[in-house]
Structures are given as C-alpha cells and as structure tokens.
Structure 1
C-alpha cells in the first residue's frame, strides 16, 4: 500500500479544516495511506503574538510527543518558538522526530505553516533531528543532472528512502530556445521508490502537460512513473521524500 498517486496540483485549492482538539490550528491533508495511516499534510497555526508576549513562561499549549509514528517537518512559512528549547524556527527549518521525541510547547507570533510527513513507527528508521536551518547546509551537484543541486536532510537506515531539498538553476535561455521541441525527454524519478514533492520556490514548466507549477504545488509519483520534461525559467526548489511501499 501507499499514499494515492497524484500529479502536481495546487494545494491552495484544498480547504483548511480546523483541528477540533487544537484551537487556532488548521490542516490540509494532502495524501493518506488507507492501510497504514501514513499521511502528508500542511498545518497552519494562527498568529498568537499577544499570547507569546503575555504567556511565554506559562504557554497554553502542551508538550507534544507522538508515541506511534515518525514526523518529518519542514517550516513552510512563518515563525515557531519552542518555549522548552527557547529557540525560534523560521521558514527553511527542518526536523525529523522519532516516536517518543518531545517537542514544544510552541508559539506562532506571525502565524506558521508547516509541511509534515508522518509515518508509522515500524515503517521508518531515520536519525533523530531537532529543528535546524537547512540554509546552513551546502548545495551539492546532482550527478548526471546539469544545473541541479541537492541537500540530503535524512536517510532511512531500513531502506533506501531519504528526504532532500532540490534546487534547479534558472534555464530561461533553454526554455525560450527549446520549449516547442525539448531536448530532454520524459524521465523516471525512481524505479523502486515513491517520490513525494512539495514545491517551495520558483517555477516549473511541464511541457507534456502544458502546465506551470509554483510554490504550494504537490505531487506523489509512483515508482517507475514517467513525467516531464521540465523547464525552470526562474529556477525552482522543492522538498522531496522518497519512500518504499508502506507495509506493516
């Protein structure tokens, strides 16, 4: 089993749903595996600047801990303040939390949106990583792909799964020259792993679909799925998680 296969689509079109047990928090479920319960979502916290100022030493939120699943989190926008660590996390911060890892309570003085991938305990084994600024990691060239770079954020010890940031340099000149007859062909991300993508910045032009993808577009490609060719006239960056079939 796996999360449903999805081509790129605009998550802005998905309505926010309020979390009944978490006031002032809203979610968009992007994909969910019906068999294992693994899911990917966006979670938005409303601004709470007044509470941040007046209740910092006595936060209304709870210390959080998830006993039965892993949680990979990328700060999509806004600001989070962890009152236990007394640290502030902004857009571009990433964390990988194993079951039982405590975090929070949090404040969100300017609001915050996070991209979360949750996976049941037995299906993943990655390193425990507290929030860190991914801007501090160097970009490394992707072998065999001109103008593309990556930052590996974590790797799974059980399988070949991993999460990374991908950056493509602007290729406006190639786009103008080759848009009607692309030199690149449709390609396969991975023959064996699912590929989950959230666009973070820039523009992706999909020649085959005659479509444009910008920040907030999401896709989940099955192993062996062909897609593209793509152009990146203004450059593009996305977060990408590759994972095997989800079998408990």
Structure 2
C-alpha cells in the first residue's frame, strides 16, 4: 500500500543516484506501491547529463512523465522537449537515451494496468 504523504517541497525529498551509470542523474521515489506496481518519482538531471551509457529504454509498464523544469533532448529522434510538457507511454515504447544541456526535473509515474499484467 502506498503511504500517505502531505505536501512536501521537492527540495525536501531525498535524491539518490538513479539506476545505471549516469553521473548527474538522481531520483527521489515519492511513494512506491509495490503491491500494485506503482512508482512515482522525480528525476533530476544536472546540466550536461547524458544517459547514453544506459542506452535505449523499454519498460514493461505504462510510464507517464511531466517535465516541469528545464529541458532534454531524446537522442534517438533528435527532438528536444522543454518544460512544461508531458508524455504517456504504453509498455514496450522505446525512448532515450537523452541529454540535457540545461538540466531538468521530471515527474514520472510507472504502473501496470491489470489487463497488462
């Protein structure tokens, strides 16, 4: 079950290195619900972050993202996305790697729908 969390400043959450080997990429998991496969988090990348070392990403879950600060370029299509903007990706969608010259912060939620499980 996901814990209840009252309004908290995004500077007050704990950021840790994100999975993979990408200097400057950190994340704060906000309220994981492993029973239902829901993981809301904030990804924070420092200026100059490049996720090429992680390669193209494909998830077995839905992914919804909202860039609320900064920008990054998805290197596969060569498109730059600037705050505020959002995306909704079904399972199996290829995306990344990406690079951010300015830095960025992104709210992301991954989840499984029952019919997808």
Q: With structure 2 as the length reference, what TM-score do the two structures score?
A: 0.85
Task: Pick 1 or 2: higher relative contact order, CA cutoff 8 A, min separation 6.
Answer: 2
CA shift in 2, pair 1:123/1:10, >3 Å: farther
Alignment of 1:64 onto 2:30: no
Aligned to 1:105: 97
Which ranges of structure 2 fall in alignment gaps of 5 or more residues?
none
2:95 equivalent to 1:96: no
Count matched residues.
Answer: 115
Instruction: Give the Å deviation of 1:71.
Output: 0.5
TM-score of the two chains, using structure 1 as the length reference: 0.42
Deviations, residues 189-246 of structure 1 (Å, cap 9, x unaligned): xxxxxxxxxxxxxxxxxxxxxxxxxxxxxxxxxxxxxxxxxxxxxxxxxxxxxxxxxx
Instruction: Work out whether residues 15 and 28 of structure 2, in 8 Å CA contact, stay in contact via their aligned partners in 1.
Output: yes
User: Alignment partner of 2:11: what SS?
Assistant: helix
Q: Which residue of 1 aligns with 2:42?
A: 42
| Pair 1:109–1:43, CA change in 2 (3 A) | same
> Which segments of structure 1 move beyond 3 Å, counting only runs of 4 or more?
none
Structure 1 stretches lacking a partner, 5+ long: 52-58, 125-247
The separation in 2 between residues aligned to 1:32 and 1:123, in whole angstroms, is 20
